[in-house]
C-alpha cells in the first residue's frame, strides 16, 4: 500500500486513523455481525452512532442548546435553495459574493425572491474579501449570506460582516472544524462534509431553533423543510448513514488531538510554512490579498501556464497529487485541510524549492 499526499479541494484527505478504524469495522461493527452500511438506520446500534456524532460535534463547536444539528443530503448546493425556501419570509435577502459558491447561492436565491448582491470581490477575480463593516443591509432582509471560506480562490472572512442585526447565514464547507467559531453569531451554519469532515454525501446544518418553522415558501417540498428533519432528528427518511458514521469518527479524532483550538494552531503552522515560502520564492507566488488568506486552500502561480502544468505533472509523479488549480482560475491550489499532516506541507515546500532551482 502506498498513500499519496492528496491536496484535493474536495472530496479530500481524511485522517488515516479514521480510515483504518473504518476498515477494521467494515465486516463486523462492534459485534453486530454487519457493516454500518448494512444496518437499519432505526437500529439501536445506528441510533448510538448518530446520537454520539451529534453530541461530539456539539462539544467540539460548543453549540448552544437552542440550535439544532441536522445531518442532510443534497450537498452544500442543495442548501442554496433550501435556505431561501425556508427563510425568505419577506422575500428579501442580502448576499456578499466572494467567489463561485457564493455567486451560485445568490443566483439560486434570486429564483425565490429579491436577492441583493450587497458586496462583491469579482472585480479582482475574488482575490480579496470586501470591507463588510458598513454595508447597505436591506431594512427587510430576511438574512445576510456569506461563504466564509472561498475554496476556489483561497480567501477567508477573518471578521464576520456587520449584518446590522439581521440573521447571518454562512457556508463553511471548506473551513468546517478548522478552528473554533462562535455559533451564536450565526442563524445558520452549514457545510458539505467532503472538504474537511467526512465522505461526500452528507451536509451538516446547524440552525437556530427560531428559524425552523412551518412558514416556508409555498410549494416547498417536505424534504426541503428544515422542520421535517429537525422534528425527526435527521431520521425522517434514510439518512446518509455510512457517511455520518465516518463524520462521527472524525469528530472523535478531533477531540482526541485536543479539539478546535489545537486544530487551529496546527492549521496555522501548516499554512505558515507554505505562505512563508510563497512570499520568499522567486518563482511561485500566492494569488490573494495576504490579509484574507485562507488556512485551508492555498492558490499559487508561477506566472507561466507552461511551468504551472509542468509543476503539477512533476509533483504528481513525486506523490503530491491534485495540485491543479480550479478550472476557472488556473495555476495551482494546495488544499491543506485538517487531515493533511504537517509533513505533507513540509515535503511539498521542499519539492517546490527543488523545482524552483531546476527551472530558473
Ligand X SMILES: *Cc1c(COP(=O)(O)O)cnc(C)c1O
Which residues are the active-site residues?
A: 101, 171, 195
Q: CB neighbours of 300 closer than 8 A, spacing ≥ 6?
A: 278, 284, 285, 286, 287, 331, 332, 333, 334
Give the closest residue to 154 by CA, choosing from 290, 355, 317, 13. 290
Interface pattern 46-85 for ligand X (x via CB under 6 A) = -----------------------------xxx--------
Which whole-number Å values give the CA distances from 320 to 1, 163, 274, 350, in the listed order? Answer: 16, 41, 14, 11
Rounded distance between C-alpha atoms, residue 96 and residue 117, angstroms: 6
181 touches ligand X by CB under 6 A: no
- Min dist CB 91 to ligand X, Å, is 23
DSSP 354: H
Q: Which is nearer to ligand X, 111 or 265 (CB)?
A: 111
CB 22 within 8 A of CB 249: yes
Strand partners, 169: 145, 188
| Contact residue for ligand X among 151, 163, 287, 294 (CB under 6 A) | 151
155 touches ligand X by CB under 6 A: no
- Min dist CB 258 to ligand X, Å, is 25
171 touches ligand X by CB under 6 A: yes
| Contact residue for ligand X among 68, 195, 225, 229 (CB under 6 A) | 195
- Piece in contact with ligand X (CB under 6 A), picked from 112-120, 168-176, 303-311, 342-350: 168-176
DSSP 148: S
106 touches ligand X by CB under 6 A: no
C-alpha distance across the termini of the chain, in Å? 36
Going by DSSP bridges, is the β-strand pair 203-208/285-286 parallel, antiparallel, or unpaired?
unpaired
- Min dist CB 277 to ligand X, Å, is 24
Q: Which is nearer to ligand X, 15 or 243 (CB)?
A: 243
Q: Give the binding-site size for ligand X (rule: CB under 6 A).
A: 12
CB 336 within 8 A of CB 274: yes
10 touches ligand X by CB under 6 A: yes
Going by DSSP bridges, is the β-strand pair 297-301/168-171 parallel, antiparallel, or unpaired?
unpaired
Q: Which is nearer to ligand X, 32 or 77 (CB)?
A: 77
| Contact residue for ligand X among 7, 101, 176, 242 (CB under 6 A) | 101
Cell representation of residue 34: 454487519
CA 341 to mean position of chain CA atoms: 18
| Contact residue for ligand X among 173, 220, 335, 338 (CB under 6 A) | 173
Q: Could you write out the three-class secondary structure of 331-343? A: CEEEECCCCCCHH
- Min dist CB 171 to ligand X, Å, is 5
Going by DSSP bridges, is the β-strand pair 320-321/297-301 parallel, antiparallel, or unpaired?
unpaired
Q: Which residue is nearest to ligand X (CB)?
A: 75
- Min dist CB 52 to ligand X, Å, is 24
Q: Which is nearer to ligand X, 239 or 277 (CB)?
A: 239
**Site for ligand X, rule CB under 6 A:** 10, 75-77, 101, 147, 151, 171, 173-174, 192, 195
Amino acid at each position: 500500500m502506498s498513500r499519496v499526499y492528496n491536496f484535493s479541494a474536495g472530496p479530500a484527505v481524511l485522517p488515516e486513523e479514521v480510515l483504518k478504524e473504518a476498515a477494521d469495522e467494515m465486516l463486523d461493527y462492534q459485534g453486530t455481525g454487519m457493516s454500518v452500511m448494512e444496518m437499519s438506520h432505526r437500529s439501536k446500534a445506528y441510533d448510538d452512532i448518530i446520537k454520539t456524532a451529534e453530541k461530539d460535534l456539539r462539544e467540539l463547536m460548543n453549540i448552544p442548546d437552542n440550535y439544532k444539528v441536522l445531518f442532510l443530503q443534497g450537498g452544500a448546493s442543495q442548501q442554496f435553495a433550501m435556505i431561501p425556501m425556508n427563510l425568505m419570509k419577506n422575500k428579501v435577502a442580502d448576499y456578499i459574493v466572494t467567489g463561485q459558491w457564493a455567486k451560485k447561492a445568490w443566483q439560486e436565491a434570486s429564483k425565490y425572491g429579491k436577492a441583493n448582491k450587497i458586496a462583491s470581490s469579482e472585480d479582482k477575480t475574488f482575490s480579496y474579501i470586501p470591507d463588510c463593516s458598513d454595508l447597505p443591509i436591506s431594512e427587510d432582509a430576511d438574512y445576510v449570506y456569506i461563504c466564509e471560506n472561498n475554496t476556489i480562490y483561497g480567501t477567508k472572512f477573518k471578521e464576520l460582516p456587520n449584518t446590522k442585526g439581521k440573521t447571518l447565514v454562512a457556508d463553511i464547507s471548506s473551513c468546517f472544524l478548522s478552528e473554533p467559531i462562535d455559533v451564536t453569531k450565526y442563524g445558520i451554519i452549514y457545510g458539505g462534509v467532503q472538504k474537511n469532515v467526512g465522505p461526500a454525501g452528507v451536509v451538516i446544518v446547524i440552525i437556530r431553533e427560531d428559524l425552523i418553522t412551518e412558514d416556508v415558501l409555498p410549494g416547498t417540498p417536505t424534504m426541503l423543510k428544515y422542520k421535517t428533519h429537525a422534528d425527526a432528528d435527521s431520521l425522517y427518511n434514510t439518512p446518509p448513514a455510512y457517511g455520518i458514521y465516518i463524520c462521527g469518527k472524525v469528530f472523535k479524532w478531533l477531540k482526541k488531538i485536543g479539539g478546535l483550538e489545537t486544530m487551529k494552531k496546527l492549521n496555522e503552522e501548516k499554512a505558515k510554512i507554505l505562505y512563508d515560502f510563497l512570499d520568499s520564492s522567486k518563482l511561485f507566488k500566492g494569488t490573494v490579498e495576504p490579509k484574507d488568506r485562507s488556512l485551508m486552500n492555498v492558490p499559487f502561480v508561477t506566472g507561466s501556464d507552461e511551468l504551472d502544468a509542468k509543476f503539477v505533472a512533476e509533483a504528481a509523479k513525486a506523490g503530491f497529487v491534485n495540485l491543479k488549480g480550479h478550472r476557472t482560475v488556473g495555476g495551482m491550489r494546495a488544499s491543506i485541510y485538517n487531515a493533511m499532516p504537517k509533513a505533507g506541507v513540509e515535503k511539498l515546500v521542499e519539492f517546490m524549492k527543488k523545482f524552483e532551482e531546476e527551472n530558473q
